[in-house]
Amino acid sequence: MTFTWVDARYFDGLLAQRRQVFVSLDAQNRRLIIHDRSGAEVDIWPLETLRRLRDDAGIGLVLCSGAVDPGEARLVLSNARAIAAIKAACPNLSKTTVAGRTWGKIALWLGASATALALMIFVIVPALAGRLAVFIPPEREARVGSSILRQIERILSKEEAGVWRCTNPKGQMALEQMAQALQQGQEFPYAIQVGVVDHAMINAFALPGGHIIVMRGLIDMAETSDQLAAVLAHELGHVAQRDPIEQALRAAGRAGLLSLVLGDATGGAALALAGEALISAKNSRDVEARADDFALAQMTKAGVSPEALAEFFELLLEEMGNSALDLGWISSHPPSAARAAHTRAAVQGKRDYKKTVSPEQWQAIQQICAE
């Protein structure tokens, strides 16, 4: 079915003014030809590109060509015979397509959205996390830490709840004595709770609310009780600076934004991401330097030689080489010659240093995960 010289109204998308035109259907060559009132060709639309637009005014068949932006040129037909012929010749008339210019607009919009999301995730959220952390009350922070601890248990353990923690009483008492000795002269808004997880990872990390977790692998690596004390003192430094709650807010904020984008609005996802972030938290040099200085000050108060922290840095690199940079505590707190030298500079040559725990207590800590 074809037709020629049917009246129609044409909008070129450039001017609001409509033009009265003639339209002819060339079914053999699969095209719709638009003529002006003098008979000259105005445009030719391939039938494969024709798409029907919504007709809210009930004025007839409104067409556009998929080769152009639907917001631009359009054609309005009211002749029933012409409308029937076009519908018969174009079975995909109502198929949704996205034109070339529209794809460009979509790509531009997606690029701008991705840039805005990245700006929020990597710039705005971290900046806000640091400011918001100081307003979190200690009791709320403690509850957040407990929730994250449960998420970490799910991440690290395949065992039933409650058995992933090492609970040898003598070892736990000795560990708590060590942590207590390193808190001299410091007041925390919550009780420091230190525990050991039966996991081979060489790691230790602090959680919001005063939780400090030490992995069995780190205790196995340490050669002396002083080296473990140095690690605990460093983590206490993060607690004193409230780094864990800032890290948790940063991770939860990112998770919240991603949840809005991806459609997962569960709080568990944010807590899980916060837990993973705290296990492998990579702080800035300034944050690590402050934690080092706190550790050195507290070790000095407790009578522990600051050299132990440098020894532990060197032990990790010596035992594991460069591969250590991808694992556990060393990847989160990468040691360097400068940091080792800084810790050794705090050693007081004429002072007699002591241990925070006895040899028997150190042995109990080493066996804290034993049955």
Element (H, E) at 20: strand 19-26
Annotation says 235 is catalytic: yes
Report pLDDT for 261: 47
Domains, the chain, in order of start with CATH, read 3-89 (2.30.29.30), 136-366 (no CATH)
Q: Within 13 A of 211's CA, how many CA atoms are on the CB side?
A: 24
Tell me the sheet residues that pair with 196: 214
Higher pLDDT, 293 or 330: 293
* pTM assigned to the model: 0.61
Q: What pLDDT sits at residue 131?
A: 62
Instruction: Pick the catalytic residue from 41, 159, 223, 235.
Output: 235
- Flag whether pLDDT at 367 surpasses 90: yes
C-beta neighbour count of 352 within 10 angstroms: 7
Say which residues have a Cβ less than 8 Å from residue 249's Cβ, sequence separation at least 6: 128, 129, 132, 133, 136
Summarize pLDDT for 85-131 with one digit per residue, the tens.
988 888 778 776 555 555 566 566 566 655 654 555 455 545 555 56
Please give the share of the chain, as a percent, with pLDDT higher than 70: 69
Query: Which element (helix H / strand E) includes 34?
Result: strand 31-35
pLDDT at 228 over 60: yes
Mean pLDDT to the nearest integer, 127-154: 76
Instruction: Report which DSSP code applies to 95.
Output: -
